[in-house]
Amino acid sequence: MFKVLLSELYKIGLNIWYFYDSNLRTKNVLPARVISVGNITLGGSGKTPLTIYIAEELSKRDSVAILSRGYGRNSKGTLVLKGDSYLFNWEQVGDEPFLMWKKLKGTLPVIVGKNRYETGKIAIQQFESHYLILDDGFQYLPLKRDVDIICINQNTILRGDYLVPRGTLRESFASLNRATILVLNVKGDAPNARAIEFMQTYEKPFFVMKYEPLIFYNFEGENMSLSSLRGFDIAALLGIADPESFLKLLQKLGIEPKKQVIIRDHATYPIPKLRQLLKEFDFVVTTEKDLVKYPSFKNFLALEIEVKMDRQEEFLKLL
């Protein structure tokens, strides 16, 4: 009951916030195309893989920069990850910006800072960026954007949800009306007819994205095929908001972890416990976001995934 009350108070606060943004706020404008990639939940929507996918595709046509707040970092101010950014570790910039820089191999800047208008100016002045991608930008309202993309996990729709703290919604489903583009992330599942019908009610361009597993790799970049772990004793270590989807991907690859260690999103597992886990099992598998937070161990592997977007050309034309 207490959480229900807090959720209602949170809803009132949101409505005041919406009124202020719509009627009183003056938005900053940058001389570039600003694309926000966000969600309406506390995590697990897939916005980071989607941001990487969009950055890769747009960089084929023009100069791109990613602007991120750097959630959970232990530093302040503005940090720029580029080709030589091994000067920074993931704790200084946040696990998601570090992963984005690593996945994109330093080919475009990832700029971390609370004020996205200021980091956007850095991207334009220093890197001549024509596309600015706001990572987790849907709730960042002071900056005018040209495209607002909301990525939503199919399971969030199917199970229903509530505003925090009663549930995991940062905003109600009605906030999807503010989006330019909706992306339904089915991850490793098939699109559900009820979820598709739900998305269609908002009368926005919407697309379905899924994850395609590619390889397993360790911190040193040594690769193993998707079938190579079958028959071994496997443990899974997961610090993400939606561990069930990752476990489903493993199951489709014929891998059933004998032990599952699930910690909260963005958290880290104590290194002594990880060493013990690595001794007990042939391999420990994790997500790419998790792997960047630990030292190098030969039998500690991430599953690399690739985003596949339906009607890709149509999607990219809207950006």
Is-contact 209 181, C-beta < 8 A? no
CATH of domain 2-210+308-317: 3.40.50.300
State pLDDT tens for residues 126-135: 999 999 999 9
pLDDT greater than 90 at residue 44: no
Domain 2-210+308-317 shares a fold with domain 214-305: yes
Pick the CATH number of 214-305 from 2.160.20, 3.30.1300, 3.40.50, 3.40.1550: 3.40.50
Give percent helix, percent strand, percent coil of the chain, each to the nearest 5.
35, 25, 40
How would residue 54 be classed by pLDDT, with cut points 50, 70 and 90? Answer: very high
State pLDDT tens for residues 177-222: 999 999 999 999 999 999 999 999 999 999 999 999 999 999 988 9
How would residue 317 be classed by pLDDT, with cut points 50, 70 and 90? Answer: very high
Q: Round the CA-based radius of gyration of the chain to a whole number and report it.
A: 20
Mean pLDDT across 13-25: 84
Give the pLDDT of residue 243: 94
Give the pLDDT of residue 14: 86
Give the pLDDT of residue 56: 97
pLDDT greater than 80 at residue 86: no
Q: Any idea where the domains of the chain sit in the sequence?
A: 2-210+308-317, 214-305
Using DSSP bridges, classify how beta strands 223-224 and 33-38 pair: parallel, antiparallel or unpaired: unpaired
State pLDDT tens for residues 222-237: 999 999 999 999 999 9
Give the pLDDT of residue 21: 83
Mean pLDDT across 236-250: 95
